[in-house]
Chains A and B, each alone.
Chain A
Amino acid sequence: MRLSVFLVFLALVAALVATDPAIAGPALPTAGALPWWAWVLALFVVSFVLGIVALVAGVGGGTLFVPIVGGMFPFHLDFVRGASLLIALAGALAAGPSLLRGGMANLQLAIPPALTASAAAIVGAMIGLILPERVIELSLGAMILGVVVLMVVAGKADNPEVAEVDRLAAILRIHGVYHDRFSGRDIEWKAHRTPHGLALFVVIGVIGGMFGIGAGWANVPALNLVMGVPLKVSIGTSSVILSIANSAAAWVYLNEGAMLAMIAVPAMLGMMLGSTIGVGLLSRTNVAVVRKVVIVMLLLAGIRALLKGFGV
């Protein structure tokens, strides 16, 4: 319980600093006030905290990273988005092997949505790099508020009923079996509404590429609620889809020069270290409380991005 309180405190401090214009507004972006290493160290610490909080709350690190680091630090949003894509990419790649070997992610299920999502992510990344910063801030704010709504209202189904497999799912052989350790049973699953799911991944890909965030928050409901895939397989497969779609978008950011090693690498290291510690804390933390705090953090960060977009 004390650990939850500590995490809540850390998260609220981060949210406050990110969203209070009095603290994060005109004072922080004066980059010359602090030496370079102080910013890099602060970035590492914030990424570390976000890594813990994001993992415990079950949100992708990138979703928290872009609005919070974009609001707190003097870095241009281009570099923040580039770094965020790498964070999401590194996390998704790292989780891939064990998820695939254990059957918690399914390659046959991941490949078709990954194609639509990655093609769309390239388009999204190109749009994101062309649009003016204020437009990006505004749409980022709106999108983050959308994520908050989705986190509050979206339901979930552990093992959805799929009465009839659609034709495309049958052709693509999208079905499988996974071992549920909780119940100790092998659970067979199949998918339906595949064309709807693939169309949704186009939208998800554009959003992910445009804002440089891993779109796990959207992947999971699309696979679980729309395509009828069990929740655990949806979460695992979402990670594989993310690794593929983010690779495509990361290339665009890299080729357009929207990456700075001094921002991307410490952020990646901090987030990876935070996630590792987060895994250990997962069983000892009140996940519901942390999730609520993350919702509040996102709400504040979304409002802050909107205000920045409006020039307030």
Chain B
Amino acid sequence: MQEYRDKTAKSATEVSNEGLWNAWRQVRTRLRARARLRRQQATRAKSQQMKYATPEQLAYADMLDIGLRIGRYLLAGTFILYVFGIAPGKVPLSELPDYWSMPADQYSNLVGIGNGWDWLALVRYGDYMNFLGIAFLSGLTIACYLRVLPFALQRKDFMLGAILMLEVIVLSLAASGLLATGH
């Protein structure tokens, strides 16, 4: 009787395992088919894009896309930390209305921050932590230009290469903080 019970139990487990295995195979087949379809669609979209956009244009767009995603998360994350008081601001939130109607130079003097990248020293404060996301988004174009530069040089388009280099210099100069107005 005991032997009979063991046999029945074993076969029930086997049946259950087989059912699971079949279900998994179905899911796997569907997932593979979907992935194949997605790959085909991506290839078709890419070939369609190549008709209207050059490879460097697509590389620029891809770089921009990735950077934008990172920048958005950085901006949203640092703002949440700031607004919920997890990273308190250099100027307390309740005192902000006393500051935001004054000119930028007066505000900087009161807060005790100089021009250029001096804000980096205050990045532990919530208000200046937000500058990380802003600086990232503002600097994204430089990265995109550097991504495109090899394409121009590869096809010996030196005119485009020179303009790209010039733009990188202009943007880096703006980012450097060297162009202070003494404002």
9 further A-B pairs in the complex, CB-CB below 8 A; given A86-B134, A261-B134: A74-B101, A100-B60, A111-B160, A112-B163, A178-B52, A247-B140, A252-B181, A260-B107, A262-B89
Number of interface residues of B (CB under 8 A): 70
| B18 sits at the interface (CB 8 A) | no
Q: Are B93 and A262 in contact, CB atoms less than 8 angstroms apart?
A: yes
Give A260's nearest chain B residue, CB to CB. Answer: B100
Q: Does A1 make an interface contact (CB < 8 A)?
A: no
Q: How many angstroms from the CA of A34 to the CA of B117 in the assembled complex? A: 33
Listed in ascending order, the chain A residues whose CB lies under 8 Å from chain B are 29, 31-32, 34-37, 39, 74-76, 78-79, 82, 86, 89-90, 93-94, 96-98, 100-103, 106-108, 111-112, 114-115, 118-119, 122, 126, 129-130, 133, 171-173, 176-179, 186, 243-244, 247-252, 254-265, 268
Chain A residues with Cβ below 8 Å from B137 are 86, 89-90, 93, 247
Given the known inter-chain contacts A103-B52, A179-B52, please indicate yes or no for A108 contacting B174, CB distance below 8 A. Answer: no
| CB <8 Å contact, A129 and B104 | yes
The one of B61, B119, B183 that contacts A100, using a Cβ cutoff of 8 Å: B61
Q: Is the CB of A101 within 8 A of B53?
A: yes
For this complex, 8 residue pairs linking A to B, each with C-beta atoms less than 8 Å apart, are A89-B138, A93-B64, A107-B54, A130-B181, A179-B51, A244-B167, A251-B175, A260-B107
Q: Are A254 and B58 in contact (CB under 8 A)?
A: no
**Residue picked from A89, A114, A248, A251, most chain B C-beta under 10 Å:** A251
Contact between B100 and A76, CB atoms less than 8 A apart: yes
Checking B138, B141, B160 against A254 with a beta-carbon cut-off of 8 angstroms, the contacting residue is: B138
List residues of B (104-124) whose CB comes within 8 Å of A's CBs: 104-105, 107-108, 111, 113, 115-117, 119
User: Given the complex of chains A and B, what is the CA–CA distance between A258 and B138 in angstroms?
Assistant: 14
**Docked pose: A35 CA to B93 CA in angstroms:** 9
* Contact (Cβ within 8 A) B171 A248: yes
**Which residues in A have their C-beta under 8 angstroms from that of B71?**
93
The answer to whether B131 touches A261 (Cβ under 8 A) is yes
A103 partner residues in chain B, CB cutoff 8 A:
49, 51-53
Judged by a CB distance under 8 angstroms, whether B62 is at the interface is: yes
In the complex, which of the residues A115, A179, A255, A262 has the most CB atoms of chain B within 10 Å of its own CB atom?
A: A255
In this assembly, does B1 line the interface, its C-beta being within 8 Å of a C-beta of chain A?
Answer: no
Contact call A34/B97, Cβ cutoff below 8 A? yes
Are A79 and B100 CB-contacts (below 8 A) given A93-B64, A118-B167? yes
Whether A255 contacts B117 by the Cβ 8 Å rule is yes
Nearest CB of A to B147, in Å? 11
Quick check: A107 and B98 within 8 Å, CB to CB? no
Give the Cβ gap from A51 to chain B, nearest Cβ, in Å: 16
- CB-CB under 8 A from B104, the residues of chain A are 76, 78-79, 82, 129, 256-258
Task: With both chains docked as a complex, state the minimum distance between the C-beta of A166 and any C-beta of chain B, in angstroms.
Answer: 14
Are A102 and B64 within 8 A (Cβ)?
Answer: no
By the criterion CB–CB under 8 Å, are B49 and A101 in contact?
Answer: yes
Measured CA separation A76–B135 after assembly (Å)? 21
Write out the residue numbers on chain A whose beta carbons fall within 8 Å of the beta carbon of B103: 76, 78, 133
Closest CB-CB distance, A233 to chain B, in whole Å? 10
CA distance A262 to B128 in the complex (A): 10
Q: Which of A31, A97, A129, A179 contacts B64 (CB 8 A)?
A: A97
* CA of A122 to CA of B94, assembled, Å: 34
